[in-house]
A = this chain, B = another copy of it.
Amino acid sequence: MSDTLAPPRETRPAATPPPAGRFRKPNWNALLVEGRALIALAIIVVIFASLSPNFLDPSNLILMTRHVAMNAILAIGMLMVILNGGIDLSVGSTVGVTGVIAGYLLQGWDMPLTQLVAYPPVWVVIAASVLIGALVGWVNGVLVSKLNVAPFIATLGMLYVARGIALLITNGETFTKLQGEEGLGNTGFITALASAPLGIPMPVWFMVAFAVVFSLLLNRTAFGRWLYATGGNERAAELSGVPVKRVQTIVYVLSGLCAATVGLLLTADLPAATPRAGEFYELNAIAAVVIGGAALSGGRGTIRGTLIGAFVIGFLVDGLVLVGVSVFWQQVIKGAVIILAVAVDQLQQSLQKRRALRRVAAATNRPGAPRPA
């Protein structure tokens, strides 16, 4: 892991690497950046724990983690896109449209050209909406990689399109008959996705599974390396024979898959399929990824960091509710934390730089000035 996941030169803190650095380099910066996110998380936990006795109560932690999970899964998909140097604003809408598809199919799908109504089994329903999610992502991918539309714009457009489609499918209504009927053999959707095996809610299980799978993808496969390469220097990657276009397309498909998963989990959790589900989720996902130390310019970021970022956001939001901060203040604080969490390590860096300089200046009289400890 440590080989691939390092930031480009410009953004590296001054006080890395130690003398032996050139020869074996555990990846300080990635650790450091994540460390910063961890600190943010720690602070949040400490503050809220001291303000609310219930914060650390296990059932509450499980609860908050369930909320985190949704955003975390989106963030993992978002990380793929951001590593590639892109961004995916359409995930929120994809959550909406996939959830609605699931709800629609569970309600019963009156097939075109026939009087028949089909009640597909749950696995078909799930497969279908996952497929739709992948499709949305694929369209984004093609727009970006083949048509060179700026990711921000391609996915912004898709944000509107997908949301519109979700609304068209439901005609603005909400689907609630999701439990299915024995007779129709389409039961079990909710239990499958909203149960809590071993007391751990399903979304959390999914979060863990996704985290494992995607870190393997990033750190053990050629695709992972290609992804970091395209994010680091696309031209170089292309000249090295990396199928940059395909990599670019795939990351958006992956993001779409993650969004679809969240769409299903959310629908089962409510339980109801509403066309507005997931609005603005993209912002939290992006915030999580960046707080987790990823660079929006691409090529730098880790699953671990992203998860931490998701916990920072999630615990903050829930914590504010828990201690009963006024609605309006919640927004202000959330915004401030996002900025601070990212600004902090920049401050660190400049401080370290200044300290290094002072050390040298101080030691000037000694010839053969200081080497770092």
Residues of chain A whose beta carbon lies under 8 Å from any beta carbon of chain B: 1-2, 5-12, 85, 87, 143, 146-150, 152-154, 156-165, 167-168, 171-172, 232-235, 283, 286-287, 290, 295-298, 327-339, 342-343, 346-347, 349-350
Contacts and interface: CB of A to CB of B under 8 A. Distances in A.
A277 to B, nearest CB: 15
A143 B343 contact: yes
Nearest to A332: B164
Given A148-B349, A160-B331, A347-B147, A339 B153 contact: yes
B339 A149 contact: yes
B339 A167 contact: no
A327 to B, nearest CB: 8
A335 B346 CA distance: 36
Name the prevailing secondary structure of the A interface residues.
helix
A85 B9 contact: yes
B331 A143 contact: no
Given A11-B149, A147-B350, A158-B335, 10 more contacts: A7-B234, A12-B148, A149-B343, A150-B295, A160-B338, A161-B335, A163-B331, A165-B332, A167-B327, A172-B328
A164 B343 contact: no
19 contacts: A7-B233, A11-B148, A143-B339, A147-B346, A148-B349, A149-B346, A150-B296, A150-B342, A152-B296, A156-B286, A157-B335, A157-B338, A158-B335, A160-B332, A160-B334, A160-B335, A161-B339, A164-B331, A167-B328
Interface hub of A148, A162, A171, A234 (most chain B Cβ within 10 A)? A148
Nearest to A326: B168
Number of copies of this kind of chain in the complex: 2
A329 B171 CA distance: 11
A321 to B, nearest CB: 15
Contacts of A157: 335-339
Contact of A161 (B162, B164, B234, B336): B336
Contacts of A9: 6, 85, 234, 297-298
B164 A330 contact: yes
Contacts of A147: 343, 346-347, 350
Contacts of A330: 164
B298 A156 contact: no
